[in-house]
């Protein structure tokens, strides 16, 4: 990652002693990391300025500073922590309930042609159905309590993980299965030493996609049938026209998504150290 000596090299013996090319003082301004931080900051500063001057309507787009102030207030009152915790808890339970069966079924389907033949059509047919569309059904079946919200998110999580796991197993080169057979790996050993590690990169991609889906469904479910959680916070703020609170909810959701993506990336480094990067 050191692109310091990018200057031209002079190898000519008669030439004056080569001046060591120096990195210019402003080079960091063009670095990727700086740009990644600078753009959002710029947007926020612009937004703040426009709000302060009154060019944009602060009833709809309150100044970032006002949102921060409100966020701190909500943190202090414990309101924000409570809503966030309720949502995170639902997310984690749903990911567990939806993700683990999806992972196991995906591995089994990836390995077995028969199982794929039996289940592929069902999955292909139900995959495109927006899971939010079946939330009313879940409300009927599971009632207004926690179960209906967790169930709809779990179903939403199931698909991307199952589909990606199947694809991950299918992508493993056949030669590795030959090696397993030739070295006497039993069914469970093939599962553990070939299918799972070989599919892991795509499984993690599946989890990443699943989390986006989970956030979306959770917010919808909480808007429609909950008395707590970030979705409820946003919906309730709208109904009482507390626009700053709404933005606080949005910021927390985007932070959650960001943190989860970081977590998956970290996991990737630990679990898939063999991947060329």
Partner 1 sequence: MANKTVTADLPPPAPTSPSERIHVRELVKTFTRRGSEVTAVDRLDLQIRTGEFFVIVGPSGCGKTTLLRMLAGLETPSGGVIDIAEPGGDLPAHSMIFQGDSIFPWMTVWDNAAYGLTMRRRPKAEIREIVGHYLDKTGLTRFARSYPHELSGGMRQRVSIARAFSNDPDILLMDEPFSALDEQNKTLLQDELLRIWDETKKTVVFITHSVDEAVTMGDRVMVMTSRPGRVKKIVDVPFERPREVLELRAQPEYGELIHEIWGSLRSEVLEAQEREQLASLRGRS
Nearest distance, CB of residue 110 and partner 1, angstroms: 15
User: 3-state SS string over 44-71?
Assistant: HHHHHHHHHHCCCCCCCCCCHHHHHHHH
When the beta carbons of 198 and 231 are compared against partner 1, the nearer one is 198
Nearest distance, CB of residue 112 and partner 1, angstroms: 18
When the beta carbons of 134 and 185 are compared against partner 1, the nearer one is 185
Contact 218, 231 (CB under 8 A): yes
How far apart (Å, rounded) are the C-alpha atoms in residues 208 and 39?
Answer: 24
When the beta carbons of 142 and 170 are compared against partner 1, the nearer one is 170
How far apart (Å, rounded) are the C-alpha atoms in residues 216 and 205?
Answer: 17
Nearest distance, CB of residue 72 and partner 1, angstroms: 46
Nearest distance, CB of residue 55 and partner 1, angstroms: 54
203: tokens are 């499984």
Nearest distance, CB of residue 269 and partner 1, angstroms: 13
When the beta carbons of 87 and 165 are compared against partner 1, the nearer one is 165
Provide the 3-class DSSP secondary structure of residue 198.
helix
How far apart (Å, rounded) are the C-alpha atoms in residues 24 and 158?
Answer: 51
* Sign of the alpha-carbon torsion through 147, 152, 157, 162: positive
When the beta carbons of 25 and 186 are compared against partner 1, the nearer one is 186
Nearest distance, CB of residue 197 and partner 1, angstroms: 4
Could you tell me which of 183, 164, 32, 171 has the C-alpha nearest to residue 106?
A: 164
When the beta carbons of 59 and 276 are compared against partner 1, the nearer one is 276
110: tokens are 């990836």
When the beta carbons of 25 and 276 are compared against partner 1, the nearer one is 276
When the beta carbons of 60 and 274 are compared against partner 1, the nearer one is 274
CB atoms within 10 A of CB 180: 18
User: Which residues of this protein are in contact with partner 1, per CB under 8 A?
Assistant: 175-176, 178-186, 189, 193-194, 197-198, 200, 272-276
How far apart (Å, rounded) are the C-alpha atoms in residues 143 and 262?
Answer: 35
How far apart (Å, rounded) are the C-alpha atoms in residues 78 and 28?
Answer: 41
Nearest distance, CB of residue 160 and partner 1, angstroms: 22
CA–CA–CA angle 174, 178, 183 (5° rounding): 150
Nearest distance, CB of residue 37 and partner 1, angstroms: 32
146: tokens are 């926690």
């Amino acid at each position: 990652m050191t692109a310091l000596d990018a200057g031209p090299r002079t190898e000519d013996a008669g030439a004056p002693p080569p001046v060591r090319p120096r990195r210019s003082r402003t080079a960091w301004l063009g670095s990727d990391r700086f740009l990644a931080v600078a753009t959002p900051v710029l947007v926020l500063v612009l937004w703040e300025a426009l709000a302060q001057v009154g060019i944009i309507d602060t009833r709809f787009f309150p100044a970032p500073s006002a949102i921060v102030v409100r966020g701190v207030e909500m943190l202090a009152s414990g309101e924000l922590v409570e809503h966030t915790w309720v949502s995170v808890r639902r997310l984690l339970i749903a990911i567990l309930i939806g993700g683990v069966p999806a992972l196991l079924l995906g591995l089994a389907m990836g390995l077995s042609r028969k199982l794929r033949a039996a289940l592929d059509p069902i999955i292909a047919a139900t995959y495109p159905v927006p899971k939010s569309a079946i939330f009313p059904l879940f409300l009927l079946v599971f009632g207004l309590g926690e179960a209906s919200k967790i169930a709809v998110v779990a179903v939403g999580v199931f698909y991307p993980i199952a589909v990606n796991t199947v694809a991950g197993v299918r992508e493993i080169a056949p030669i590795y299965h030959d090696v397993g057979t030739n070295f006497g790996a039993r069914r469970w050993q093939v599962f553990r030493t070939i299918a799972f590690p070989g599919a892991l990169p795509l499984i993690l991609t599946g989890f990443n996609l699943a989390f986006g889906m989970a956030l979306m469904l959770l917010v919808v479910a909480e808007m429609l049938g909950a008395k707590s959680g970030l979705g409820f916070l946003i919906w309730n703020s709208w109904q009482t026209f507390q626009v700053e609170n709404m933005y606080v909810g949005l910021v927390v959701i985007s932070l959650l998504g960001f943190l989860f993506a970081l977590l998956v990336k970290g996991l990737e480094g630990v679990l898939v150290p063999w991947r060329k990067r």
